[in-house]
A and B are shown apart, each in its own frame.
Chain A
Amino acid sequence: MHVHNDHINKQSYYLFKLTRLMATEGVKEIFQDFQVYLEHEQKLREDIRQAVQNIEQNAREMMTLLLSVHQQDGIKQTPSICQSVSPMFHVIQEKMRSLAELVPANQYYRFNDIWRFVVQRLAFLAAFLTYLQSETLISRTTVATMIGVEVNREDGFHLDLDDYLQGLLQLASELSRLAVNAVTAGDYARPIRIARFVGDLDAGFRLLNLKNDSLRKRFDGLKYDLKKVEEIVYDLTIRGLKPNETAVQSI
């Protein structure tokens, strides 16, 4: 046993001297390559972050403007508010396109945590605007077009389905708030329509087999939004304030 080991040791000694040098050289080289990769990635992330911050700025402005519909006289001014928000999407489209140019092909999900939040916000804004204009549910394609991204992943920088759905869930919350404020402003028909709309949305969402992720968490809040709107309808009904069907239908 002893002899055998000695033999091995002698045999490997020279090889060992050589490989000891080679091994460390190889390691250095590999890590240098990686360092370059890292620096490149950090730079790219920084650029993307800046582009996203820029878009967030615009989104905030739009948000402030659009949310003014909640104000006492805001509901009556809905058309003019929509008119001023609507063209602001052109700027968003441009900025989203330049953001898209930063992202390498097929690497959307490598960086999407950076823009996820703002895209959800934009999806919400588009959905809310569309609702205020026509009281319809915005389609995924329309959201994508309004914010200037693709619908399908294969086509490049796209609207992630989760982000679109998150935008819709934000819409439901905002509508439950709008229902409250509509009553305060003396509009008793709107809450009834909102209740139907949110009910539809809820029925839709309940078709989805969600995983335990952020979308699921947000979806769990939908039932409270629905409940709130239904309570408003109930309050109106028992007090005889609920308008008749034709009055409800007219927008």
Chain B
Amino acid sequence: MADEKRKHHFDKRDRRGKRKSEEKVDESSPVIAAFRGYQQELDERYDRYERIIKLSRDVTIESKRTIFLLHRVIGSEDREGLLQQAIDKLSEIEASKFRPIAEELKDEDIYQFIRAYTSGLQEYIEALTFYNFLKNCGLIKLEDVQKRLTFTAADDSNSDETQQKTQAPVDGHIHVVIPPIEYILGVADLTGELMRLTLNSVGKGDFETPYKVCDFMRCMHAAFVTMGSMSRDVVRKTTVLKQSLQKVENACYTLKVRGSEIPKHMLINVLTCASSGNIPGYADEESVEDDP
């Protein structure tokens, strides 16, 4: 494949009429010899980068699906069943996507490739923290997420999608290292899902979740504000977080004030109208979040 590409490059050059001199120089010149080495090195790096990007894209897609699945948990008859499905999905992402990424990153400087998988990783963290919030009502710790992305040779036999093509890693562990900043950004995305969860749960007659989410998000917002403006990403996500928080706060307000006087099935309408233009707001938030 790479060879074909190279050939193609040469063909282009033929038209520029440089072919003769180049072919002459090719094998004799030490410059050319050195550059052949660099060519190989660059190709290897770029290829690895591309492979990781592909895996990361799959992680994003699957994680998004998991998040949708998790939204169905609220008001469902089969809460545990759905949660189980979600965690199974996440485990599968780990085994079939993150494991190959970990293999690509083995013995590499992860920061050289971090941009290739940051979006997938954040989306996965969003899904996992969301699952954990629904299941255990708290924030999963970075160490616990890291544990899930640490693989041993034994893991291979457990997963249904055994990665036979990859050579068994030498003793010990391989992992997709999660830089704390990525974790925090993933957690920031979680708040958007929590806001949606709140509105959904009211619709389903669950009046506790809003308060719970509200507490949780206030706490998170406070933490983000304390962090200050250390990176553009954090600032951007803090803004989105605040918008989501206000929607949840308005929802709680409406619940408190009008909760007793309106039938449940009508409350959801009041609520969506009360949180000032919620429907367009919802769309706004989505577009900001997905901004690459």
Report which residue of B29, B107, B179, B205 has the largest number of chain A beta carbons within 10 angstroms of its beta carbon.
Answer: B205
Would A161 and B180 count as touching, CB distance under 8 A? no
**Nearest CB of chain A from residue B278's CB, rounded to whole Å:** 24
- Residue A153 CB within 8 A of the other chain: yes
Interface residues as binary, B92-120 with A (CB distance below 8 Å gives 1, 0 otherwise): 00000000000000010111101000000
- Residue B32 CB within 8 A of the other chain: yes
Q: How far is the CA of A110 from the CA of B111 in the complex (A)?
A: 5
Q: How far is the CA of A137 from the CA of B205 in the complex (A)?
A: 75
Report which residue of A30, A34, A106, A107 has the largest number of chain B beta carbons within 10 angstroms of its beta carbon.
Answer: A30
**Nearest CB of chain B from residue A194's CB, rounded to whole Å:** 14
Among A16-24, A48-56, A84-92, A231-239, the stretch that binds chain B is: A16-24
Q: How far is the CA of A129 from the CA of B211 in the complex (A)?
A: 69
- How many chain B residues sit at the interface, stated as a range, is 35 or more
| Residues of A with C-beta under 8 A to B215 | 20, 23-24
Q: How far is the CA of A201 from the CA of B183 in the complex (A)?
A: 44
The closest CB in chain B to the CB of A139 belongs to B34
- Residue A43 CB within 8 A of the other chain: no
- Residue B233 CB within 8 A of the other chain: no
Q: How far is the CA of A19 from the CA of B138 in the complex (A)?
A: 7
- Residue A183 CB within 8 A of the other chain: no
| Residues of A with C-beta under 8 A to B21 | 199, 203
Q: How far is the CA of A200 from the CA of B137 in the complex (A)?
A: 65
- Residue A207 CB within 8 A of the other chain: yes
Would B42 and A30 count as touching, CB distance under 8 A? no
Q: How far is the CA of A35 from the CA of B180 in the complex (A)?
A: 10
The closest CB in chain B to the CB of A23 belongs to B138
Please report whether the interface of chain B is mostly helix, strand, loop or mixed according to DSSP. Answer: helix
The closest CB in chain A to the CB of B216 belongs to A23
Interface residues as binary, A37-53 with B (CB distance below 8 Å gives 1, 0 otherwise): 11000100000000000
Q: Which residues of A contact B (CB under 8 A)?
A: 2, 4-5, 8-9, 12-13, 15-16, 19-20, 22-24, 26-28, 30-31, 33-35, 37-38, 42, 106-110, 137, 139-140, 153-154, 161, 165, 199-201, 203-211
Would A35 and B227 count as touching, CB distance under 8 A? yes
Would A27 and B139 count as touching, CB distance under 8 A? yes
The closest CB in chain B to the CB of A112 belongs to B111
Question: If A23-B212, A207-B36 touch, does A37 touch B109 (CB 8 Å cutoff)?
Answer: no
Would A208 and B39 count as touching, CB distance under 8 A? yes
Among B64-72, B154-162, B218-226, B240-248, the stretch that binds chain A is: B218-226
Known: A19-B212, A23-B138. 11 other contacts (CB 8 A): A4-B77, A5-B204, A15-B137, A16-B212, A20-B211, A31-B226, A34-B183, A34-B184, A109-B109, A137-B30, A206-B9
Would A27 and B31 count as touching, CB distance under 8 A? no
Q: How far is the CA of A198 from the CA of B211 in the complex (A)?
A: 69
Question: If A23-B215, A208-B39 touch, does A203 touch B31 (CB 8 Å cutoff)?
Answer: yes
- Residue B230 CB within 8 A of the other chain: yes
Would A16 and B38 count as touching, CB distance under 8 A? no
**Nearest CB of chain B from residue A247's CB, rounded to whole Å:** 22
- Enumerate the 7 nearest inter-chain pairs by beta-carbon distance, A residue then B residue, closest first: A31-B223, A204-B35, A109-B111, A19-B137, A110-B111, A109-B112, A23-B138
